[in-house]
Amino acid sequence: MTKNARKEKAADVSRRSFLKGVAVAGAAAVATGLTGCGTAGGSTPGTTSQAAVSWTDEADIVVVGGGGTGCACALSAGEAGASVILLESSSALGGCSALCVGSLTTPGSKMQADKGIKDSAESYLEDAEHHLAKTAKARAGEDWAIFELQAKEGGKTIDWLVDHGVKFNGPLAYPGNTNDRMHMLSPKSSAWPLVLQPLIEGTGGKILFNTKGVELVVEAGRVVGVKAVDQITKEELFLKGTKGVFIASASCDASYDLKIRASTDPEQCTIDAACAFNDGTGLMMCQMI
């Protein structure tokens, strides 16, 4: 193995270890009976102890991040009867999911079925594997797990959005895919938050804009809430999640230091982030527990 190859392999291992650690921490934060590593009555570095907190507000579920994932969580929880507080660092919902191209190329949607398109997760994965082979990329690890997740859940995600009033065009042809399976948000990618926001609020959900989650509050080895900061007044808020805290602020596009740890392509890390609020705080909050 050449020196450059060894260096690239080491960087790749470092990247995967970093992402795997974050994924495990994030899963722990999302789970019911949230797990922390603090001792009873104490706090871990980068977390806050409940003993030192005067709660500003509380709900069954506190959701950190108002992008696509956070909005889906907040709405689903509200529809299931839970009270919800949703934190969003910017002045509007959407995050990267409202700034992207707006296409989701995936099998198994009702839109496909309505057009008589017979597709499957297996066919999608075969196309994905063929594409990787053509581009000399390996099918491996976490990267392939993302393809598998999209194959299994992508169509259901589109159906859920459509059922809630979000509009798509398609399915359309897309290079490298043997079936028409590209679904395009309509009229543009930024339209979906305008549909979901009133639905979240209609279930009683509270949306705190310009409010950034910065630390998790732990007690007796359990996450019980979030410390947040109002980005305008700089006021500290302590928000209790009596049934759970959901971390949906996982992007680190605006943090060069985090991107360089998670990427094998340094040049890509110098590209300006589409969303300046995606500084990786959510990832670091998870890692602290």
Given the DSSP bridges, would you call strands 47-49 and 222-230 parallel, antiparallel or unpaired? unpaired
pLDDT confidence tier of residue 257, bands split at 50, 70 and 90:
confident
Q: For residue 284, what are the CA distances in angstroms to 13, 124, 166, 191, 279?
A: 20, 33, 32, 30, 10
Burial label, 62 (beta-carbon count in 10 A; 0-12, 13-18, 19+) = buried
The pLDDT tens digits of the residues spanning 4-26 come to 443 444 344 333 433 343 333 33
CA-closest candidate to residue 215, choices 203, 207, 223, 204: 223
**Average confidence score pLDDT of the chain:** 82
Q: Which residue has the higher pLDDT, 36 or 257?
A: 257
User: How high is the pLDDT of residue 216?
Assistant: 93
- Within 10 angstroms of residue 121's Cβ, the number of other Cβ atoms is 18
| Structure tokens belonging to residue 129 | 């594997």
| Structure tokens belonging to residue 285 | 């909050």
Q: For residue 238, what are the CA distances in angstroms to 106, 214, 229, 281?
A: 39, 10, 9, 16
Q: What is the dihedral of CA 250, 127, 14, 9, to 10 degrees?
A: -160
Burial label, 228 (beta-carbon count in 10 A; 0-12, 13-18, 19+) = buried
The dihedral of CA 157, 163, 164, 168: what is its sign? positive
Element (H, E) at 124: helix 121-134
pLDDT confidence tier of residue 274, bands split at 50, 70 and 90:
confident
pLDDT at position 207 over 90: yes
Q: For residue 96, what are the CA distances in angstroms to 101, 195, 198?
A: 10, 16, 20
Q: For residue 190, what are the CA distances in angstroms to 67, 69, 99, 121, 210?
A: 11, 15, 6, 28, 18
Whole-model pTM over 0.85: no
pLDDT confidence tier of residue 287, bands split at 50, 70 and 90:
confident
Greatest C-alpha distance within the chain: 60
Element (H, E) at 158: helix 141-163
pLDDT confidence tier of residue 140, bands split at 50, 70 and 90:
low
The pLDDT tens digits of the residues spanning 101-110 come to 899 999 999 9
User: How high is the pLDDT of residue 9?
Assistant: 41
Query: Average pLDDT in the 133-150 region?
Result: 75
